[in-house]
Amino acid sequence: MAKTEQAHSNFGTSRILAVAAISICLTGCAGFIPLDAPDAAATHTHAALITEPSAPLAYALMPVNPAVLQATNALTDSSGLIFSHLPGGNYRDVTIGVGDIVTVTVYEAQAGGLFIPREAGVRPGNFVDIPRQQVDQSGNINIPYAGSVKVSGLTPRAVSNIIRERLKDRAIDPQIVVSVAEQRGNQISVLGEVNSPQRFPIDPGGIRLMSAIARAGGPKYPSYESTITIKREGRTYNESMSSVVHHPSEDVLLAPGDVVFLTRIPRVYMAFGSTPSPGSIGGTNNRRFTFENDNMSLAEALAKAGGLDGGRADSKNIYVYRFEPKPLLQQVGIDASQFPTISVPAVYKFDMSKPDGWFQADTFRMRDHDVISVAESPSTEFIKLMAPLDAASTNASNISSVVVNSK
């Protein structure tokens, strides 16, 4: 009888220890395990005010088909296209600017006029050179017998006509030649991530953006990592260099005073979910990856992130998150009227369990700051749930065996 009571006592003790072991495994034994930051319970407990949770963000889920793929790729290809709409473009004739050094030569038809003496032997030729002048802050130069002449913003030919009109009643059939000896006002600057930053005057026929960058030694980094900023008339305009390369209309003529600045801004995307763990792919210890070409596809992006995890990934549910304009959704037959904003959160869904999904992934063009999410298979969730329970039951069994054996 005593042995039976002892057995029951041992069984009860084992059960208590097993329950305690399971509780410890499931709860993490809060307060005993150190934390590197406050947990959710501590954050909520010490809050002075807790607001109501916001409503879930509305988004459009779009399984990818040929129509959706064509629409989003067309928008990706047409992104940018800003420089061709710059105000003050189409600049071809170089005008005289403040600070320029100007030369003026006056010709007369015969001696005895305003500038040429009657004695033919006194000087050769029938012209006189006006001393070189710098255009003042008011944009003027001074010409004998013509007075102050406004030249800033005018072409040399236009200035010649103005001076001729003022001298025609005093000189003998005057002909005027105006030229710019040194351009100091009509210059552009190319700075930033170029090999030879410099400031130089605009050519007489004008100069285009890519030619100006070439004169500055070209970009230091690939076009898909370079962003061009043009500062004109107190405003700035930005566009990727890749867009300028692929769209000739964006290679605009520059205007006097333009500042061109190149900046290295690599385009990136993020990959989460059932992809290989960070650090397992080439030592890259993050989930943020850079583009390696102008047009990176989803298949290339997944390959760079290590592909799909064969033990966890659900190849039927691959998602790409980005914002899209309403017209794109309407173009593919989605009612976007319920979205109050111009840009709509959009989620593209790919089924890569079938061959056509792989073709679509290799055609789908990524954009800067796209987010890729690879869903986990349902079996993975079940395995995750069972793992701690299995560990807890194993620990409880081990503890029970130790207690029984110790008796």
Task: Name the burial class of residue 252, with classes exposed (0-12), middle (13-18) and buried (19+) by CB atoms within 10 angstroms of its CB.
Answer: buried
Strand partners, 263: 227
Average pLDDT for the chain: 83
Q: Is the pLDDT of residue 171 over 50?
A: yes
Residue 84, CA distances (Å) to 87, 287, 319 in order: 9, 36, 34
pLDDT band at 184, cuts 50/70/90? confident
Rounded mean pLDDT, 140-158: 92
Task: Provide the token pair at 134.
Answer: 């710098």
pLDDT value for 1: 47
Q: What is the pLDDT of residues 7-44, one digit of tens each?
A: 444 445 555 555 555 555 555 445 556 778 888 888 88
What does pTM read for this prediction? 0.71
pLDDT of amino acid 299: 96
Rounded Cα gap, residues 6 and 9, in angstroms = 5
Predicted pLDDT at 111: 75
178-182, 200-204, 391-395: the lowest-pLDDT one = 391-395
pLDDT at residue 11, as a whole number: 45
Q: C-alpha distances in angstroms, 232 versus 98, 229, 236, 254, 260?
A: 17, 10, 6, 9, 9
> Left, alpha or beta for 173 (phi > 0: left; psi -120 to 50: alpha)?
left
Return the ∠ at Cα 55 (arms to 51 and 57), rounded to 5°. 130
Distance of alpha carbon 182 from the chain centroid: 38
- Residue identified by tokens 């406050």 is 38
pLDDT in tens, 233-276: 889 999 999 999 988 989 999 988 899 999 999 999 999 998 88
Task: Please state whether beta strands 187-192 and 226-232 pair in parallel, antiparallel, or not at all (unpaired).
Answer: unpaired
pLDDT cut 70: percent of the chain above it = 80
pLDDT value of position 195? 96
Is pLDDT of 232 > 70?
yes
The string of pLDDT tens digits covering residues 73-110 is 999 888 778 898 888 765 666 788 888 999 999 998 87
**Cα 296 from Cα 176, distance rounded (Å):** 59
pLDDT category of residue 125 using cuts at 50, 70 and 90: low
Q: How many CB atoms lie within 10 A of CB 407?
A: 10
- State yes or no: pLDDT of 114 exceeds 90: no
Judged against a pLDDT cut of 80, whether residue 208 lies above it is answered with yes
